[in-house]
Amino acid sequence: MLPRGRKEGGTLPHPMDNLLSWNVRGANQMEKKRAIRHLIAQQKVGLVALLETKVKASNLGVLYKTVFDGWCFTSNISKHYNGRIAVAWNPMAFTVGVLDMTEQYIHCVIKPKMEEAWNWKGEGTVMYKLTRKLKQVKTSMKELKKKGFYDIQAEVNMAYQVLL
C-alpha cells in the first residue's frame, strides 16, 4: 500500500535532490568559483547549470578541477567560443544524457539514481517486485554512502584549507 497521493513508480526523495541554476556572468574569477562550491556544499546540490560562464576552452579544465572535481561535466564550448553554459552533476546522485546542444542551450535527460532503482519493472508477485526494488535502492544508497561520505573528515579539512 502506497501513502496517499503517491503513485507506484513515483520518485523517492534522496540527499542529492537539489539543483542549482545560476546566471553566473563569468566563472573565471576565484571568488565566483568559491561561491559556487559553497552553494553546492551548503545546499547539498547534486546538479549544477551555470549560464553565461564566459569560460574559454583553455580555462574549462581549471573550472572543472576547482569546482566540480569528481563530478561529471559538460559544456557547450564546442558551439560557442566563449563558453556560455556548463552543466555538472554528481554521478552518485544523477544520470544525465545530453540530447542536443547549441550555443543557446544544452538539452538533457536527467534521472535521479534512486528513481532508476525504484522504477524497475519486472515480472513476479507484488512482494517479489517490492523486495527487488528495495534491494536495488539499498545498493544505490550503499554506493552513495561509500563514495559520497567516505572519509568525510578529510573532506571537511580540505574544504577548510581551500577557504583560508
Give the containing element (helix H, strand E) for 159. Answer: helix 152-163
Domain membership of residue 50 (yes or no) is yes
**What average pLDDT is seen over the chain?**
80
Domain membership of residue 140 (yes or no) is yes
Domain membership of residue 130 (yes or no) is yes
pLDDT < 70 stretches in the chain: 1-17, 116-117, 144, 146-152
Provide the domain count of the chain. Answer: 1
The secondary structure of residue 1, as a DSSP letter, is -
Domain membership of residue 149 (yes or no) is yes
Domain membership of residue 8 (yes or no) is no
Domain membership of residue 68 (yes or no) is yes
E strands, the chain, in order: 18-23, 45-51, 72-75, 85-89, 94-101, 106-112
- Could you list the residue range(s) of the whole structural domain that residue 106 is in? 18-163
The Cα–Cα gap between 160 and 18 comes to: 23
The C-alpha cell of 71 is what?
A: 563530478
Domain membership of residue 97 (yes or no) is yes
pLDDT of residue 35: 92
Task: Quote the pTM value.
Answer: 0.66
Domain membership of residue 75 (yes or no) is yes
pLDDT of residue 152: 67
Tell me the CB-side half-sphere exposure of residue 123, using CA atoms within 13 A: 0
